[in-house]
Amino acid sequence: MGRILAAAVLSAAVLQSPPSTIRIAVNMATIESAPVFLAEQQASDVRMELRAGGIPILLEGTVDAATNSETQALLRSVDRPDLRIVMTVAECAYRIVARRSSGIDALADLRGKKIGTPANTSAHYYLVKALRRGGVATSDVTVVPMAVPEMASALAKGDVDAVSGWEPGAHDAIAALGPRGVTFQPPGLYRELFDLNTTTAVLNDPVRRRALVNSVRAMLAASTQVRTRPATVWPLLSSRINVPQPTISDTWTHFRFSAWLPEDIVDVLVEEEQWVAEVQKRSPRSRAQVAALVDDSVLKEAGRP
């Protein structure tokens, strides 16, 4: 009888124990973060503590996971090869917005122009790829480093001739110019991989790994709602990133919320590694070294086929 009572007490204690906690640094200004915000609200078996930030905070050790573009994972993993990409939360197609009054009607017309973009980011990489598509060398333009929220104003005032950035920066730049603007989005050129990252230390820690798997499982469920009933998520997203719902609605078609690891993710990373290596003035890493940054085990444990 005593053993039965003890087992019952232990079982009740397990059932009443609080859910595990995971600390996640997330971009608090981008639409890509929608599934993370929704998962935080809906998760039942893990408590997600969200903090503003990205990979730098993860590498400081103050969080267990962090969202960021694939560009930042490539840049940061040189010094921290223990960094791992465990899921692509969202994909976003970028746009370049330019002033027609600067004589720009095609990508080739960007030659000799001033172009605003946040330096050494996915938007900068997109600009480089777009210039190549137009037959323009990076040395043929003047890159003006600026934050995405500053792009629309700089473009409207004529401080730059064009801008390259993610949403809603591109949307705001288009709105600022109206019919005076022209937009470039070459099909198949590039899409940002907005990834969830962690470290091998977290992956090798049974407690933190379990919390990570549970949070990813919650993001998978949240992503289904984001894809199938997006309007139900926009109020929450708008309140978190301080972007009006109409703007979110207008830009929604530029996003994909599959919550997976794309089949071509290693190919994307290997190609981009060439540019990252040039930025960092080093030799590109091998395909095997780059591929080691991707870990699909968490997704598999979370139930993603």
* Domain parsing of the chain, residue ranges: 19-92+192-301, 95-184
63-103 pLDDT, tens digit per residue, is 999 999 999 999 999 999 999 999 999 999 999 999 999 99
d(C-alpha 265, C-alpha 73), whole Å: 12
Q: Which CATH architecture has domain 95-184?
A: 3-Layer(aba) Sandwich (3.40)
pLDDT, averaged across the chain: 94
Supply the pLDDT for residue 7.
Answer: 46
Query: What CA–CA distance (Å, rounded) separates 15 from 87?
Result: 30
* Mean pLDDT score, 245-267: 97
> What crossing angle do the helices spanning 122-133 and 265-279 adopt, rounded to 10°?
90
- Look at residues 170, 162, 165, 173 and name the one whose alpha carbon lies nearest to residue 140: 162
* Architecture (CATH level 2) of domain 19-92+192-301: 3-Layer(aba) Sandwich (3.40)
Average pLDDT, integer, range 134-159? 97
Exposure b/e, 58-89, CB count within 10 A at least 16 = b: bbeeebbbbbbbbbbbbbbbeeeeebbbbbbb
- Distance of alpha carbon 221 from its chain centroid, rounded? 18
What is the distance between the alpha carbons of residues 177 and 232, in angstroms, rounded to a whole number? 31
- Identical topology for domains 19-92+192-301 and 95-184: yes
